[in-house]
């Protein structure tokens, strides 16, 4: 499943860089404790998987279904890429350049899913909220360490 692949690809870039790079960065006061990220992203990926599964299971000729899935997979690809840009490259600016279009694609996905399935739509609202918070956090980490 693509959502699990994105999760694993992101972890592959993130985990090796937590102790030796991320731990040494200056972070804003509102930075959550590290232990919150694992459970939060597990929940968000589960919501994304369920949401996309609902859309995937609609009839293939349902108007808007294919476009909604393309936009969903585009935001998912940017989600996995963010970990490589931020953690893999040790570059908060690169992460910031990825996460802003990622968030915009999440909003487009929400709008596309809204036309097809309310439950799938509601599952993506926490994703959009968390990524909006992550934009602010990413920006502050870049600003403090630039």
For residue 15, pLDDT beyond 80: no
SS3 60: coil
Convert the pLDDT of each residue in 117-129 to its tens digit.
Answer: 999 999 999 999 9
Convert the pLDDT of each residue in 27-37 to its tens digit.
Answer: 999 999 989 99
* Total H helices, total E strands in the chain: 5, 0
The mean predicted confidence, pLDDT, of the chain is 95
- What lies within 8 Å, CB to CB, of 29 at 6+ separation is none
The model's pTM is 0.93
């Amino acid at each position: 499943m693509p959502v699990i692949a994105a999760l694993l690809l992101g972890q592959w870039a993130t985990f090796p860089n937590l102790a030796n790079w991320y731990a040494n960065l200056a972070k804003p006061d509102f930075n959550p404790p590290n232990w919150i990220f694992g459970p939060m992203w597990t929940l968000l990926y589960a919501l994304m998987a369920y949401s996309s599964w609902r859309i995937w299971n609609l009839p293939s000729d349902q108007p808007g279904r294919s476009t909604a899935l393309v936009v969903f997979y585009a935001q998912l690809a940017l989600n996995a890429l963010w970990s490589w840009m931020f953690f893999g490259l040790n570059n908060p600016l690169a992460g910031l350049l990825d996460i802003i279009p990622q968030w915009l694609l999440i909003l487009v996905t929400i709008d596309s899913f809204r036309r097809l399935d309310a439950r799938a739509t509601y599952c993506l609202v926490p994703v959009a909220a968390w990524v909006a918070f992550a934009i602010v956090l990413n920006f502050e980490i870049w600003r403090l360490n630039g």
